[in-house]
Structure 1
């Protein structure tokens, strides 16, 4: 319990930026699709829509969603190779998550997530038994390799605290973000995340069985729509571009399952993705039949089809707007 309280104390404590503003309402943060511009929001390929939730998969459909999340400024996603965890991931003994909860808190409001990203095949234990793993830092879109629990204080000080945040202006497209130029502690290596887009799905069945049911079904349906576009990527596929799909632990609001977080890299004037995420679009009440639209409009265009029913919040660094 102590680790949970400590974790929550800084998990949602963003460092404010005077340049950013809170979006006035649910329709102001992200562009809503317009049938006159975007066309029909369904391709009506009903025979292929065979993936459905179990019959007793019930969620809250009545509460107002938008604005009920607190702000965060960086997101640290830890590779564990698992799809479910103990109730509070900071209680995973000997884990990076436990070490994060015990170390000096980040200065910029970090969200911590465990994920099913595999522990690298080249990973090995140090003499003291600590296993090295990989973390993904957002919005920097950087992987940091060879992280051990003992290295977490250096990770926080030299990587997280110096990284771009959700509420800092986008850097000049010709420049790289600060992680590329910040000297790293011995043993840690940084590399680009190869994907242009990331989909994060809560799979934390220990917290709520619905998340354990929804995540694999949504992943399968997302991949069905991404594959014909050449955008599907598995763990071993590091071709540039595409969409990475990762399972993460509890993000709150399980009664609104399924929660889906979509990180999108910014685009250059000619439409090519550049360093850093420009947006994170946090949605809920997502069903398999929504995946087609999420690929066509949200992932590829940064638009939201049903903001009033499904948008919980997020940020857009290009417009300097947040939901908090």
Structure 2
């Protein structure tokens, strides 16, 4: 079997049929959360880094190689990614005056659990315009729902949280038949807000926040270049303006904690139906660290396309799998606002 055929074979990977239970559990260790590659099943290539990769980090790019990674992140329930058109931001994105990030940090917290907030390099739509108060409209991506919401202004953030985030599936919502899941799409939206599907099957989020740590500003563009080199022959590379269904979207985001383990990479994966078509929501998020350009070939082949982890002991920080109902942290019982950490703490105070 050729390497191309081997990669495409990964597209046939299917998640387990989800059980109706809502009892998510904490995976006991890094080998229990996601499947690990096995050379007997995946071939000898899973044991080796990319030999054709010529991209390398700068000579003085040093990271912590000793700490145990697994479980050193907290759980989260939803993830809001804000289009800013930038690849770097002020130290705390909530301090960016007049931004959606600032408005989110000051708004009431979601009723369905902790929300991770990220600024991203997704461009502000060219058709965007300022409203009468001078507030620029932008787009946000809501995960694990895989939904874009357009025309979001700082003033619209309370409505965004109330009508979109609070009604959205979470990382610990059981997977359901998409035909019967209309909780979000059937929710009437306030005037001005528009919702649409994210066209991609997979998302790769790379921390590029150089203001917080220069290593992230160095690693993100290098990883993106190598990831695109691996994705292009498979027909899976997607630019910002590429609305073809499927493929892999690669976005830069701000600080996620753990810069000393650069590069941090989050992979969101939609569940596939038996006929290979993507279902509406993310079933997995696989959060990795210590990723190098030479890891990208196997990252695409096994993690993005198959939901497997190549080096869990060295690189897995955590994540969730809604198909097996496992997370890296104990799920909260009842997402009452008083039990939630603040958005500002969650998005900026990690080392």
Deviates more, 1:106-115 or 1:232-241: 106-115
Distance 1:149 1:5 in 2: 42
Distance 2:6 2:41 in 1: 49
Q: 1:80 to 1:4 in 2, by over 3 A?
A: farther
Q: 1:82-122 CA distances to partner (integer Å, 9 max, x unpaired)?
A: 00000000000000000001111112230000000000000
Deviation at 1:3, TM superposition (A): 48
Q: 1:119-149 CA distances to partner (integer Å, 9 max, x unpaired)?
A: 0000000111100000000000000000000
Q: 1:46 to 1:200 in 2, by over 3 A?
A: closer
Q: 2:193 aligns with which of 184, 188, 196?
A: 188
SS at structure 1 position matched to 2:118: strand
Deviates more, 1:174-183 or 1:226-235: 174-183
Deviation at 1:11, TM superposition (A): 31
- Are the counterparts in 1 of residues 49 and 294 from structure 2 also a CA contact under 8 Å? no
- Are the counterparts in 2 of residues 176 and 275 from structure 1 also a CA contact under 8 Å? no
Q: 1:255-313 CA distances to partner (integer Å, 9 max, x unpaired)?
A: 00000000000111223211000000000000000000010000000000000000000
Distance 1:5 1:271 in 2: 12
Distance 2:292 2:214 in 1: 15
Distance 1:46 1:244 in 2: 21
Deviates more, 1:15-24 or 1:192-201: 15-24
Question: TM-score if structure 1 supplies the norm length?
Answer: 0.92
Q: 1:39 to 1:155 in 2, by over 3 A?
A: same
Asked if 1:63 is matched to 2:63, the reply is no
- Are the counterparts in 2 of residues 194 and 240 from structure 1 also a CA contact under 8 Å? yes
Q: 1:182-220 CA distances to partner (integer Å, 9 max, x unpaired)?
A: 111110000000000000000000000000000000000
Distance 2:12 2:302 in 1: 35
Distance 1:228 1:9 in 2: 17
Deviation at 1:40, TM superposition (A): 1.9
Q: 1:218-276 CA distances to partner (integer Å, 9 max, x unpaired)?
A: 00000000000000000010100000000000000000000000000011122321100
Q: 1:165 to 1:117 in 2, by over 3 A?
A: same
Relative contact order (alpha carbons < 8 A, sep ≥ 6): 1 or 2 greater? 2
Deviation at 1:8, TM superposition (A): 37
Q: 1:267 to 1:62 in 2, by over 3 A?
A: same
Give me the CA root mean square deviation.
8.3
Q: 1:3 to 1:97 in 2, by over 3 A?
A: farther
Distance 1:41 1:5 in 2: 15
- Are the counterparts in 2 of residues 42 and 292 from structure 1 also a CA contact under 8 Å? no
Q: 1:245 to 1:4 in 2, by over 3 A?
A: closer
Equivalences, count: 322
Q: 1:55-106 CA distances to partner (integer Å, 9 max, x unpaired)?
A: 0000000000000000000000000000000000000000000000111111
Deviation at 1:48, TM superposition (A): 3.1
Task: Identify unmatched segments of 5+ residues in structure 2.
Answer: 328-351
- Are the counterparts in 1 of residues 78 and 171 from structure 2 also a CA contact under 8 Å? yes
Corresponding residue for residue 343 of structure 2: none
Q: 1:106 to 1:174 in 2, by over 3 A?
A: same
- Are the counterparts in 1 of residues 39 and 47 from structure 2 also a CA contact under 8 Å? no
- Are the counterparts in 2 of residues 4 and 88 from structure 1 also a CA contact under 8 Å? no
- Are the counterparts in 1 of residues 18 and 324 from structure 2 also a CA contact under 8 Å? no
- Are the counterparts in 2 of residues 7 and 90 from structure 1 also a CA contact under 8 Å? no
Corresponding residue for residue 89 of structure 1: 93
Q: 1:266 to 1:4 in 2, by over 3 A?
A: closer
Q: 1:14 to 1:200 in 2, by over 3 A?
A: farther
Question: TM-score if structure 2 supplies the norm length?
Answer: 0.85
